[in-house]
Amino acid sequence: MKKYIFISIGGALGAISRYLIKNIEITNNNFPINTLIINITGSFLLAFILTIAFKYWNFNSNIRLGIATGFLGAYTTFSTMCKETSNLFIKNMYSIALCYISLSIILGLLFAYLGSILAHKIGAKLVHLNSIAKEE
């Protein structure tokens, strides 16, 4: 039962965060930059947090579910990306739609990779510092 509470709290916070970012007016053109920012930051955070959680720091499974499934599951939004892309195609904005899809995939993968790399670097330093502290 606890895991559902953590997922629910994380989901509520993730949905609110997405809503707030989605409604920031960055530009007034047809490119859905807000959703792109949400999805690439979500990709980064998911890779970073799960790498740290599984490899370096034994997160409580309920907290991990609350962050990964709850918060980031509600924060990121594949369905909105698909709907926005469909709308661009319907408006005959093919180049913007293709650019949006390409950037979403490429930057999403790149930021997930960078999140994982950064987590490994930070995790390795934490392990090193922890081993030094144990020796003293």
pTM: 0.87
Q: Whole-angstrom Cα distance, residue 89 to residue 62?
A: 41
Residue 19 has pLDDT above 90, yes or no: yes
Quick one: pLDDT at residue 136?
64
Domain boundaries, the chain: 2-135
Report percent pLDDT > 90 for the chain: 76
30-47 per-position pLDDT tens digit: 899 999 999 999 999 999
Please report the DSSP string for 10-75 in residue order: HHHHHHHHHHHHHTS-S--SSS-HHHHHHHHHHHHHHHHHHHIIIIIS---HHHHHIIIIIIIHHH
Quick one: pLDDT at residue 124?
85
Phi, psi of 27 (to 5 degrees): -140, 165
